[in-house]
Chains A and B, each alone.
Chain A
């Protein structure tokens, strides 16, 4: 059993880390404070191939594997969690989905610019009344000639404001429940499609989270992904992949908090000694590092299963559950180590703390992850 990275993965990690430290981290505090979408960074990431990491080169992607993808998300999120989620959504919930379920024409038309980072995508599943209960959608897509007509509102859509392409899940008939859900590719500018509201958030403030409204929005039939009624399965498969990304994001946030804590503990002197000399602090640091490593290994395992083509739903949920809770715990303790300085915005740990919370919520709350895991255990 080899738990190390290959030379290729190491070279990839070094590049992303270098990029994240030089280009992403210096802007992170401002991106958070001003709730500013890091457009320039995202453009650069597109040029490097980070917006379609695991998509084959023929479709505009970088042709790397899922392990590389989680490495990238961790490194970017360590520098800026907002940038991490923007990237994660585009990679796992948009590009991977079109790659897996799109037809050749859809891949040529939509996937190539998305994977190259020339366009940005968003994933529209949640609704005001359908969060964890994703089968119970109210947005309708009624067939009308060679079009579907979308009506209804979507909620909490990451990248909603900036996205050029939206993957919209809607039902062709509510009485069909899960079996009525279908996935449509909707282009920005389609009449009847608008951003209703941008939310103000606790964390990941550089990424937009929007309410989107569809009113008599006509989408050509050729934009249907997969079959009518296949949407729920598509969403679940996508979320399996997405969860690995969120797990990696959480690991990145936690690592940033640990590294900041180590630096602070070495430099902060109380009672005549650096606080790192106190066992109370040392034990905290040891626990932080151990839990982060455990979460990362779970994440790598899920990614590695995905790369082998093996089932990874349970393992992806475990990784996401573990990593998000570790991130919350580690960032809380990081603030504790910083004391009063951890509570003020001059230092980065309060941002890590705010950013961490959402990882326990989006792409399936911790409770949903536990349900998924238990479902697999009990069969």
Chain B
């Protein structure tokens, strides 16, 4: 099975809110030299891909559309066990919305070879639009199953466990498929081994421009934007937490009093 995993490099979302700054110009988070990481669910997706490969054979490729710095995200993908990596990076992509990114990714994925399975994180750790995956499925003209926690391959078909509000659903389908992956106890991302980091650091990773992929200029970048971020602001959340002192019995007694004052119980 040929599996392609799409990864996005983002500013570490675990960064405390106190260090979060907005760049007024781009209406994005200011990078400020903060660590860059693979968006968390994308790592879950990569783990699903690597586990499938171990069970059923095949290859795993990682692809990213973004800044040149995303090469390090791809390198980590290789160190975790992916066989191949490619970066799509071009100033012409700046300002692309989900449709522009999906158009570029679709071409990049096709250039790697027709995939059986395309995996994306169910949402990115920064904007969490949850749109690139499903749009990419449409652009590749393949079906999509979203919010998948587990995948099993059986006789050339796939069984997916899709998480919904009340529980989960089991979906079946034959490749080619695109899945958006949710974190689950079964797909905790592995740590790359030191020796694999050493090997991956020596691999060369191709960088493709929009022209290399034959992406239409009108399909990407600011000009193709269908929606625009007009404003990005910090929410004002000034809550003063009242810490309750004393032994547990006394803390509980105070808590009950306070809750009754607030009519919370």
Q: Is the CB of A62 within 8 A of B198?
A: yes
Tell me, rounded to whole Å, the shortest Cβ–Cβ distance linking B99 to chain A: 32
| Contact indicator B75/A7 (Cβ below 8 Å) | yes
Assess whether A101 is interfacial by the CB under 8 Å rule: no
Interface size on A, residues (CB 8 A): 21
User: Would you call A15 and B195 a contact (CB within 8 A)?
Assistant: no
B contact patch SS: helix
Interface string of A1-17 (1 = CB under 8 A from B): 00000111011101100
Output the nearest chain B residue to A52 by Cβ-Cβ distance. B194
When the two chains form their complex, are residues A49 and B200 in contact, meaning their CB atoms are under 8 A apart? no
Q: Which residues of A contact B18 (CB under 8 A)?
A: 266
Whether A53 and B197, one on each chain, are in contact in the complex, defined by CB atoms closer than 8 angstroms, is no
| Known pairs A18-B191, A49-B195, A64-B194; A11 contacts B35 (CB<8 A) | no
User: Given A14-B35, A14-B76, A7–B193 Cβ distance below 8 Å?
Assistant: no
The interface residues of chain A lying within 8 Å CB-to-CB of B191 are: 15, 18-19, 48
Docked-complex contact B194 and A68, CB < 8 angstroms? yes
What's the tally of chain B residues with a CB closer than 8 Å to chain A?
16
User: Is A49's CB under 8 angstroms from B194's CB?
Assistant: yes
User: A47 and B193: CB pair below 8 A?
Assistant: yes
A7-B201, A11-B200 given; A48·B76 CB < 8 A: no
| Complex CA–CA separation, A271 to B37 (angstroms) | 39
Residues B72 and A63 in contact, CB atoms below 8 Å apart: no
Is B193 a contact of A11 with CB atoms below 8 Å?
no
| Interface residue B149 (Cβ < 8 Å from any Cβ of A) | no
Which of A10, A47, A63 contacts B198, CB < 8 Å?
A: A63
Instruction: Check if B201 sits within 8 Å of A15, measured CB to CB.
Output: no
Per DSSP, chain A at the interface is helix
> Does A57 reach chain B (CB closer than 8 Å)?
yes
Determine the chain B residues whose CB is within 8 A of the CB of A166 once the complex forms: none
CA distance A7 to B79 in the complex (A): 13
Residues of A within 8 A of B193 (CB): 47-49, 62
Q: Is the CB of A12 within 8 A of B72?
A: no
Determine if A50 is an interface residue (Cβ-Cβ < 8 Å).
Answer: yes
Residues of B within 8 A of A12 (CB): 194, 197
With the chains together, A15 CA to B191 CA distance in Å?
A: 7
Asked if A15 contacts B75 (CB within 8 A), the reply is no
Q: Are B72 and A62 in contact (CB under 8 A)?
A: no
| Chain B hits for A50, CB < 8 A | 194
Q: Is the CB of A64 within 8 A of B201?
A: no
B contact residues around A63 at 8 Å (CB): 194-195, 198
Per-residue contact bits, chain B 198-234, to A (CB 8 Å; 1 contact, 0 not): 1011000000000000000000000000000000000
Tell me, in angstroms, the Cα distance from A62 to B201 when the chains sit together.
13
Q: Mark B72-83, 1 if CB is under 8 A from A, else 0.
A: 100110010000
Identify 10 residue pairs between A and B in the complex whose beta-carbon atoms are under 8 Å apart, listed by A's number: A6-B201, A10-B72, A11-B76, A11-B201, A14-B76, A48-B194, A49-B194, A50-B194, A62-B193, A62-B195
Known: A11-B197, A49-B195. 16 other contacts (CB 8 A): A6-B201, A7-B72, A7-B75, A7-B201, A10-B72, A11-B200, A12-B197, A15-B79, A15-B194, A62-B195, A63-B195, A63-B198, A64-B194, A64-B197, A64-B198, A68-B194
Which 8 A-B residue pairs are closest in the complex by CB-CB distance? A49-B194, A62-B194, A8-B201, A62-B195, A19-B191, A49-B193, A12-B197, A48-B193
Chain B residues packing against A (C-beta within 8 Å): 18, 35, 37, 72, 75-76, 79, 191-195, 197-198, 200-201
